[in-house]
């Protein structure tokens, strides 16, 4: 499957004189572009905050009298309805992403509790907990692929959608909405890839995931493998599993696993907080679009 580049956020030039919101939107879009690539949780957290600010400006534009009173002739109405559909699908993607984050955080916490509760001499009894975590990770990776494919489909549809309407102002608003949806899809995909890690037993799955990232990497990253917290936990747990099987498990090994699980937990919580703020803006965007259609 061909994969679009998740880091292709385009610079746009908007008519700031017609509405001050256009100027702020352009500033926020370009700021978001400078944060790419989002190859760390810290950058993703910053990106989510920047994207939230971008939606604030967009919602001000949608709520302006000029936009709310646009003449809904046949072609204009279709543009708004299409934007509303994309807004709904974006909220669905948000829901899937949030559910995935919750599942990953839950399985990590269960394993943390099991490792904390048992002494080093009895870690062999955690075999079941480790296996449950491995199975949970395998399921999560498959769900990530499904989410990414859904986002890719949405992105392809955006590329082919109608932009120009019968009203110049509305055409510019639709263009802005198209850019911000593309930016949101891009950031969602980065979150998914960061969470995916490197599947140990499914090389095809990993090849599909990493291919999404390679086209847009800066040259300094092209020959380097992405190693994130999910990767490190998978590698460390695999090592711990082997040590348990050979009765060579050490307290320091277990402590390392727990520290990395705790770090992943904190970073997932950071994603959840950022996504929650973003969701409120997505909801406001949907309401504004409905109000335009109701006028």
Nearest to 22 by CA among 167, 190, 172, 233: 172
Q: Is a pLDDT exceeding 50 seen at residue 221?
A: no
Alpha-helix runs per DSSP H in 160-228? 168-196, 203-214
- pLDDT above 90 as % of the chain: 33
Please provide the DSSP assignment of 22-83 as one string. Answer: HHHHHHHHHHHHHT----SHHHHHHHHHHHHHHHHHHHHHHHSHHHHT----HHHHHHHHHH
Question: How far apart (Å, rounded) are the C-alpha atoms in residues 189 and 107?
Answer: 22
Instruction: Give, as one character, the DSSP assignment of residue 273.
Output: H
Average of per-residue pLDDT across 5-16: 51
Query: How many CA within 13 A on the CB side of residue 125?
Result: 9
Average of per-residue pLDDT across 206-232: 46
Write out the two tokens for 146.
């499904």
How far CA 287 is from CA of 20, 43, 94, 273, in Å, comes to: 21, 29, 17, 22
Instruction: Give, as one character, the DSSP assignment of residue 200.
Output: S
Instruction: Give, as one character, the DSSP assignment of residue 135.
Output: H
- What is the pTM assigned to this prediction? 0.80
Q: Is a pLDDT exceeding 70 seen at residue 27?
A: yes
pLDDT for the residue numbered 213: 43
Model confidence at 15, in pLDDT bands (50, 70, 90)?
low
pLDDT for the residue numbered 165: 63
pLDDT for the residue numbered 113: 85
For residue range 227-247, what is the model confidence (pLDDT) as tens digits?
466 666 777 777 776 766 666
pLDDT for the residue numbered 214: 45
Question: How far apart (Å, rounded) are the C-alpha atoms in residues 279 and 34?
Answer: 23
Backbone angles phi, psi at 9, to 5 degrees: -95, 125
pLDDT for the residue numbered 229: 63
Please provide the DSSP assignment of 210-258 as one string. Answer: HHHHHTT--GGGTTS----HHHHHHHHHHHHHHHHHTT---HHHHHHHH
pLDDT for the residue numbered 252: 58
Of 128-137, 190-199, 214-223, where does mean pLDDT reach its minimum? Answer: 214-223
Instruction: Give, as one character, the DSSP assignment of residue 10.
Output: P
Residues 6+ apart with CB under 8 A from 16: 22, 23, 26
pLDDT for the residue numbered 38: 82
CA 208 centroid distance within chain: 17
For residue range 244-272, what is the model confidence (pLDDT) as tens digits?
666 666 665 677 778 888 888 888 999 99
- Answer with the residue of higher pLDDT: 164 or 148: 148
How far CA 35 is from CA of 13, 184, 212, in Å, comes to: 19, 14, 18
- Answer with the residue of higher pLDDT: 194 or 212: 194
pLDDT for the residue numbered 7: 44
For residue range 66-122, what is the model confidence (pLDDT) as tens digits?
898 888 877 888 889 999 999 999 999 999 999 999 998 998 888 888 888 765 445
Nearest to 44 by CA among 229, 207, 215, 206: 229
């Amino acid at each position: 499957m061909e994969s679009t580049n998740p880091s292709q956020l385009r610079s746009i030039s908007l008519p700031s004189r017609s509405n001050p919101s256009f100027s702020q939107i352009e500033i926020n879009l370009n700021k978001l572009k400078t944060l790419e690539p989002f190859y760390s949780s810290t950058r993703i957290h910053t990106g989510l905050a920047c994207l939230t600010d971008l939606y604030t400006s967009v919602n001000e534009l949608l709520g302006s009298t000029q936009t709310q009173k646009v003449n809904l002739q046949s072609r204009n109405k279709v543009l708004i309805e299409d934007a509303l559909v994309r807004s709904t699908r974006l909220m669905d993607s948000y829901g899937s992403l949030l559910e995935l984050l919750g599942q990953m955080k839950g399985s990590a916490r269960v394993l943390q509790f099991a490792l904390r509760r048992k002494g080093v001499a009895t870690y062999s009894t955690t075999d079941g907990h480790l296996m449950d975590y491995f199975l949970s990770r395998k399921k999560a990776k498959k769900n990530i692929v499904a989410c990414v494919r859904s986002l890719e489909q949405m992105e392809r549809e955006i590329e082919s959608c109608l932009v120009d309407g019968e009203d110049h102002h509305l055409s510019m608003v639709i263009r802005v909405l198209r850019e911000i949806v593309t930016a949101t899809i891009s950031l969602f995909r980065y979150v998914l890839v960061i969470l995916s890690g490197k599947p140990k037993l499914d090389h095809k799955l990993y090849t599909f995931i990493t291919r999404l990232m390679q086209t847009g990497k800066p040259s300094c990253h092209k020959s380097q493998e992405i190693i994130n917290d999910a990767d490190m936990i998978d590698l460390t747990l695999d090592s711990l599993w082997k040590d348990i099987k050979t009765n060579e498990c050490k307290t320091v090994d277990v402590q390392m696993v727990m520290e990395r699980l705790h770090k992943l937990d904190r970073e997932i919580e950071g994603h959840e907080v950022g996504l929650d703020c973003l969701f409120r803006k997505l909801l406001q965007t949907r309401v504004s679009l409905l109000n335009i259609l109701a006028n």
